[in-house]
């Protein structure tokens, strides 16, 4: 109770005091003076206030005034100590108030607290650039003018610091906003290609209004990356690489068979600004389509794409258009080479074949192994052989191999199992075809006829050659008073036709068919006539043999045209397992090289030439033909020139024109040229098939030469004979003759057998008749008949003599139909030449085309037309020559007809043997007829060397003497014992005749006695051959009746022995041109 009273007492005193003070203060003016206070803009978060209360005009300090203080309108507090401290104040505006009790209003103090220091934000136009200058912007957080503010008067007094290969450009300093925002340029050193420049503000270079010093923060610096280097890109694919040695160079090969490896990745050296879609538009591929792969981009440095919709075999090339791709510094991406690789998901197939065909006589059988594409790791251990032994294994290229097998059984079987090897993409091979070859021995029915034909032809050629040399030697010494053209033409023409006949059968071996063994081996034995023989430098290689459609490679067999990669036979192709010295990087293949080396899906591995790569392109056939043709033809031409030189050398009267008969140049060369036509055509067509520029040029030039020869022949026959510009043909036609029925059949089939004679227009006995004789001399031309009427009376006498009367018509014109037939007949030489040229071209052009029937059909048609022409036109003068030619051409028609039948029908073993014998029989029939005709012609020519008695032995003796005259020097002539028969000339004034036998005995005695001088012996030696013919010439010149009797004897079926008394004295005709023509005609028969 007492305590309560005490409290009320104290409170009452205090209130009383306040009232007293208030009453006192009201009477005086009161003010507050701050002795200490914060700066109006303070960077401190504390505030200390010290103040005084002044009264009485601000003079006296009111010590007993009651004062309260408050901050920012907060609660008041007693501040009688006149000092107040505030801490942990927030930034911003603050208000401090001092209130005096008893007075209205308070005295405030306002200030701002700013504890945040000023800073600046530095930025550039781009953080990545390839330019020389970059624009920098400086923006302050607040005005910072204390200490001078931001300035950049020079490179050394600039508040923007540059660290790196750069410096500020003071002249570019620009004030964008006073005291807040500035701009200037920073130069990047051109001497440095790439680097980084740090732009940073200086430290404490200015203060704000609150006194805060400039504070450099993270934003007060800026990094500028400059890079002027080329931006590269790496185009990567997940395709395995291999190092292979191709064409003597190590190359990088990329190939795969896995579809999952078809991914393309782009790795850029600098991040790029382009998106994945833009980069996809910059990529292109040769096959398929590109799809983006979603994954990490590594800061726009890596992009992936998948190649889809790709064929089974393709050479894929990926191309990047880098010009549209920009890096962060603004540099375009440098161009990059395309990436090329092989995608192959197809397994390689392999084909076995042999150049020997389904059968062979060789003990060593070459087998060609051809893959559709190059394979790796293939060797001889993967070749399965039955019936033979492997002798050699040769790698021609990675897709072509050859093995040689020694046959030890009748049937040899070869095959390659599947999965034996693989291609460059890793695909394993398919199983090969089963190759079966039948081994046989050359049958006797083939070897004996071919050897017989060869020996018979050589013997006949030798006999004809010796007889021709003898006749030419006798003609050169003018041993014949009236030389006969038969001494020049008959044997050589027949022999020439025999050689052409043999060539036809020899070339038939090259036709597109599997011929029977019997005929094939027979025709192979006649290849010398082409000529087609192995070259001397060929070391036992396989003879090229034609594989037919029924060979082991099947009916669709073709010669392979697969790309040869240029590997040499000794080339060792290394794979990835190269030695340590091998390069770890090699130049990659181009798209074209991939295609040529590996992409061969369109090629079929068929038959190829295993033993000789040159055989596949025709050069070996060309070399074999042309080498022997040049060698044999050149030797014969040189021999011909040597013989002519010898004849001229022994000539004692050079100014006198000599007759060399069949040796006249270039008669023999024309024969050789015609014989060489099929050989040249076959060789030319063979190399043209290769298709290269050199082969086409060489083959075309040779074929052009052949075409020029045929054109010259056509012009000669057309202009020279048909139009009568050079040659004229005359025939003797006997009117009133009666023929039996069998004679009519012979006349219709073989011709009338009229006596005819070729004459050179406006030039008697021209040498061109001999030189160009091979083109026309045994053919009938457009005739100009010379009619002779047969007198009545004794039939025997009518047959033995020609009656000269006033009714006789000289040089009577032939009927128009006969002239027309004669014009067509003369073209038989051209027709035969065209046939042989066509055979040569087709044999070479269709050498490897086993699916074509064209050659056989064309040749069958040509031979059939030739046979029809022979029977219809009867072009030959002599009936026996016409018969021989009909038989020969009929055999050729039968041969090609049989070959055509073989194309349509498959034969068994026995039937094939019979057909082969049948085809050999065709040849033998025609050949035997040719040989019989030739030997008969040689027999007749030998008899003609004895014009007086027509004795074969005497003619043979004359031929031997003529042969010795050809070779024996004149100084050796005295050693001859004996001489040919000689007839002394008759006394033309008295008509006396010498005894032929006595004259021969006398001459022989004079020759052997040795009493003649050397000069007379030499002169008589030249006249030895003339001796047998002078008497007949003398009788003919002195007595026209004898001449007529002689002609009648030649014309009739038996010799005439009548003399001049068989003809009346008033029947002596006057000499005229008709008798001269008749004399020329009958002198040649």
pLDDT at 1035 (0 to 100): 40
Q: Where does the pLDDT of residue 4 fall: very low under 50, low under 70, confident under 90, or very high at 90 and above? A: low
| Domain range enclosing 372 | 350-442+559-616
Does residue 569 share a domain with residue 427?
yes
Residue 72 dihedral angles phi and psi, to the nearest 5°: 55, 40
Number of folded domains that form the chain: 5
For the cut 80, the answer to whether the pLDDT of residue 842 exceeds it is yes
Alpha helices in 846-951 (DSSP H): 854-873, 879-904, 909-944
Instruction: Tell me which of 56, 90, 113 is where a domain ends.
Output: 113
In this prediction, residues 477-493 reach a mean pLDDT of 62
Does residue 195 share a domain with residue 161?
yes
How many Cα atoms occupy the beta-carbon half-sphere of 307 within 13 Å? 31
* 466 belongs to a structural domain: no
Tell me, rounded to whole angstroms, the distance of Cα 495 from its chain centroid.
Answer: 42
Does residue 238 share a domain with residue 207?
no
Secondary element (H or E) of residue 960: helix 952-967
Instruction: Tell me which of 301, 320, 344 is where a domain ends.
Output: 344
In this prediction, residues 986-1001 reach a mean pLDDT of 35
For the cut 50, the answer to whether the pLDDT of residue 400 exceeds it is yes
Does residue 437 share a domain with residue 580?
yes
For the cut 60, the answer to whether the pLDDT of residue 795 exceeds it is no
Max Cα distance, the chain (Å): 227
Does residue 261 share a domain with residue 340?
yes
What's the whole-number average pLDDT of the chain?
A: 75
- Check if the beta carbon of residue 908 is closer than 8 Å to that of residue 925: no
How many Cα atoms occupy the beta-carbon half-sphere of 465 within 13 Å? 11
The rounded distance, in Å, linking the Cα atoms of 888 and 342 is: 61
In this structure, what CATH number is given to the domain that contains residue 165? 2.60.40
Nearest of 500, 519, 547, 513 to residue 837 by alpha carbon: 500
- Any residues with CB less than 8 A from the CB of 646 and at least 6 apart, and which? 966, 967
pLDDT at 83 (0 to 100): 84
Nearest of 37, 158, 149 to residue 98 by alpha carbon: 37
* 938 belongs to a structural domain: no
Instruction: Tell me which of 78, 113, 148 is where a domain ends.
Output: 113
Does residue 302 share a domain with residue 256?
yes
* 403 belongs to a structural domain: yes
pLDDT at 822 (0 to 100): 67
Percentage of the chain beyond pLDDT 90 is: 15
Token digits of residue 306:
């998948």
To the nearest 10 degrees (0 to 180), the angle between helices 1040-1051 and 1073-1083 is: 50
Q: Where does the pLDDT of residue 1017 fall: very low under 50, low under 70, confident under 90, or very high at 90 and above? A: very low
- Check if the beta carbon of residue 69 is closer than 8 Å to that of residue 84: yes
For the cut 60, the answer to whether the pLDDT of residue 277 exceeds it is yes
Q: Where does the pLDDT of residue 790 fall: very low under 50, low under 70, confident under 90, or very high at 90 and above? A: very low
DSSP 288: S
Does residue 403 share a domain with residue 321?
no
For the cut 90, the answer to whether the pLDDT of residue 210 exceeds it is no
* 768 belongs to a structural domain: no
* 922 belongs to a structural domain: no
- Check if the beta carbon of residue 790 is closer than 8 Å to that of residue 798: yes
- Any residues with CB less than 8 A from the CB of 293 and at least 6 apart, and which? 263, 304, 305, 306
Does residue 375 share a domain with residue 308?
no
pLDDT at 689 (0 to 100): 78
Does residue 214 share a domain with residue 253?
no
Does residue 241 share a domain with residue 333?
yes
Question: Three-state SS for 166?
Answer: strand
Does residue 430 share a domain with residue 565?
yes
Nearest of 39, 43, 32 to residue 103 by alpha carbon: 32
The rounded distance, in Å, linking the Cα atoms of 479 and 1059 is: 26
The rounded distance, in Å, linking the Cα atoms of 999 and 983 is: 6
- Any residues with CB less than 8 A from the CB of 690 and at least 6 apart, and which? 617, 618, 619
| Partners of residue 600 on adjacent β-strands | none
Does residue 124 share a domain with residue 65?
no
The alpha carbon dihedral of 10, 12, 14, 17 has a sign of negative
For the cut 70, the answer to whether the pLDDT of residue 547 exceeds it is no
pLDDT at 495 (0 to 100): 85
pLDDT at 106 (0 to 100): 84
**Residue 38, exposed/middle/buried by CB under 10 A (0-12, 13-18, 19+)?**
buried
DSSP 722: I
- pTM for this model (two decimals): 0.58
Q: Which residue has the higher pLDDT, 553 or 881?
A: 881
The rounded distance, in Å, linking the Cα atoms of 454 and 927 is: 11
* 464 belongs to a structural domain: no
The alpha carbon dihedral of 822, 825, 829, 835 has a sign of positive
């Amino acid at each position: 109770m007492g305590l309560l009273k005490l409290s009320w007492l104290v409170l009452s005193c205090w209130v009383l005091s306040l009232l007293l003070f208030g009453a006192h203060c009201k009477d005086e003016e009161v003010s507050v003076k701050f002795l200490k206070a914060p700066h109006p803009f303070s960077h401190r978060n504390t505030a200390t206030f010290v103040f005084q209360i002044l009264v009485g005009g601000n003079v006296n300090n009111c010590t007993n005034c009651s004062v309260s203080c408050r901050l920012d309108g907060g609660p008041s507090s007693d501040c009688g100590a006149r000092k107040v401290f505030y801490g942990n104040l927030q930034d911003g505006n603050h208000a401090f108030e001092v209130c005096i009790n008893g007075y209205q209003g308070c005295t405030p103090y306002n200030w701002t607290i700013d504890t945040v220091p000023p800073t600046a934000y530095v930025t550039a136009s781009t953080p990545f650039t390839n330019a020389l200058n970059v624009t920098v912007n400086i923006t302050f957080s607040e005005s910072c003018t204390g200490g001078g503010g931001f300035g950049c008067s020079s490179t050394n007094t600039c508040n923007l610091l540059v660290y790196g290969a750069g410096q500020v450009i003071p002249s570019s300093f620009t004030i964008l906003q006073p005291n807040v925002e500035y701009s200037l340029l920073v130069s990047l050193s051109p001497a440095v290609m790439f680097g980084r420049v740090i732009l940073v503000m200086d430290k404490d270079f200015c203060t704000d209004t609150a006194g805060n010093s400039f504070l450099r923060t993270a934003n007060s610096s800026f990094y500028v990356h400059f890079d002027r280097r080329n931006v590269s890109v790496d185009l990567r694919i997940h395709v395995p690489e291999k190092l292979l040695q191709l064409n003597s160079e190590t190359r990088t090969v990329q190939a795969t068979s896995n579809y999952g490896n078809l991914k393309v990745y782009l790795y850029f050296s600098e991040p790029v600004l382009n998106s994945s879609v833009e980069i996809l538009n910059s990529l292109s591929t040769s096959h398929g389509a590109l799809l983006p792969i979603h994954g990490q981009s590594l800061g726009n440095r890596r992009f992936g794409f998948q190649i889809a919709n790709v064929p089974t075999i393709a050479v894929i090339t990926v191309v990047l258009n880098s010009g549209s791709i920009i890096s962060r510094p603004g540099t375009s991406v440098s161009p990059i080479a395309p990436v090329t690789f092989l995608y192959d998901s197809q397994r390689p197939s392999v084909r076995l074949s042999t150049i020997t065909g389904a059968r062979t006589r060789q003990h060593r059988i070459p087998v060609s192994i051809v893959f559709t594409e190059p394979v790796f790791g293939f060797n001889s251990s993967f070749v399965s052989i039955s019936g033979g032994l492997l002798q050699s294994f040769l790698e021609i290229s990675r897709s072509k191999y050859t093995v040689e097998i020694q046959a030890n059984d009748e049937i040899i079987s070869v095959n390659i199992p599947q999965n034996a090897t693989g291609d460059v993409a890793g695909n394993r091979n398919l199983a090969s075809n089963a190759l079966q070859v039948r081994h046989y021995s050359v049958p006797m029915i083939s070897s004996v006829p071919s050897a017989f034909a060869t020996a018979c032809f050589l013997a006949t050629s030798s006999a004809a050659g010796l007889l021709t040399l003898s006749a030419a030697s006798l003609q050169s010494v003018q041993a014949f008073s009236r030389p006969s053209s038969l001494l020049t033409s008959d044997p050589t023409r027949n022999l020439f036709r025999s050689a052409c006949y043999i060539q036809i059968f020899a070339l038939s071996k090259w036709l597109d068919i599997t011929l029977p063994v019997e005929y094939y081996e027979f025709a192979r034995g006649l290849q010398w006539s082409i000529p087609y023989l192995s070259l001397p430098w060929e070391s036992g290689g396989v003879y090229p043999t034609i594989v037919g459609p029924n060979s082991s490679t099947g009916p669709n067999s073709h010669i392979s045209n697969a790309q040869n990669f240029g590997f040499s036979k000794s080339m060792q192709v290394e794979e990835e397992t190269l030695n340590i010295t091998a390069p770890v990087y090699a130049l990659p293949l181009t798209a074209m090289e991939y295609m040529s080396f590996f992409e061969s899906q369109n090629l079929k591995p068929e038959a190829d030439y295993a033993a000789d790569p040159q055989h596949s392109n025709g050069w070996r056939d060309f070399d074999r033909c042309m080498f022997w043709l040049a060698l044999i033809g050149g030797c014969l031409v040189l021999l011909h020139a040597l013989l002519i030189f010898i004849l001229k050398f022994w000539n004692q009267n050079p100014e006198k024109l000599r007759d060399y008969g069949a040796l006249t140049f270039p008669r023999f060369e024309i024969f050789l040229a015609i014989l060489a036509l099929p050989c040249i055509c076959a060789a030319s067509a063979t190399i043209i098939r290769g298709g290269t520029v050199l082969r086409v040029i060489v083959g075309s030039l040779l074929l052009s030469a052949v075409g020029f020869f045929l054109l010259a022949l056509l012009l000669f026959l057309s202009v020279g004979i048909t139009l009568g510009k050079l040659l004229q043909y005359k025939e003797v036609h006997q009117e009133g003759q009666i023929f039996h029925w069998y004679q009519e059949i012979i006349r219709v089939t073989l011709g009338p057998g009229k006596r005819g004679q070729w004459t050179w227009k406006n030039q008697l006995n021209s040498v061109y008749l001999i030189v160009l004789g091979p083109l026309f001399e045994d053919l009938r031309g457009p005739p100009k008949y010379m009619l002779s009427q047969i007198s009545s009376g004794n039939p025997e006498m009518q047959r033995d003599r020609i009656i000269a009367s006033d009714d006789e018509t000289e040089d009577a014109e032939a009927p128009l139909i006969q002239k027309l037939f004669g014009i067509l007949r003369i073209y038989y030489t051209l027709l035969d030449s065209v046939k042989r040229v066509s055979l040569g071209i087709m044999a070479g052009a269709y050498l490897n085309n086993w699916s074509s029937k064209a050659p056989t059909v064309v040749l069958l048609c040509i031979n059939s037309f030739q046979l029809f022409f022979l029977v219809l036109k009867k072009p030959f003068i002599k009936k026996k020559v016409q018969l021989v030619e009909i038989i020969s051409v009929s055999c050729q028609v039968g041969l090609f007809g049989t070959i055509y039948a073989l194309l349509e029908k498959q034969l068994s073993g026995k039937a094939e043997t019979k057909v082969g014998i049948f085809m050999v029989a065709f040849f033998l029939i025609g050949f035997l007829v040719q040989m019989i005709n030739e030997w008969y012609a040689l027999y007749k020519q030998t008899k003609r060397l004895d014009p007086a008695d027509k004795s074969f032995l005497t003619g043979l003796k004359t031929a031997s003497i003529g042969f010795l005259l050809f070779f024996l020097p004149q100084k050796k002539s005295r050693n001859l014992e004996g001489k040919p028969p000689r007839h002394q000339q008759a006394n033309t004034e008295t008509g006396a005749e010498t005894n032929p036998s006595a004259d021969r005995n006398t001459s022989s005695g004079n020759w052997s006695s040795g009493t003649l001088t050397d000069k007379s012996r030499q002169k008589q030696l030249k006249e030895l051959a003339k001796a047998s013919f002078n008497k007949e010439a003398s009788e003919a010149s002195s007595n026209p009746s004898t001449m007529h009797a002689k002609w009648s004897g030649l014309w009739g079926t038996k010799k005439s022995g009548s003399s001049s008394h068989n003809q009346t004295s008033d029947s002596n005709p006057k000499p005229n041109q008709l008798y001269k023509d008749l004399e020329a005609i009958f002198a040649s028969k």
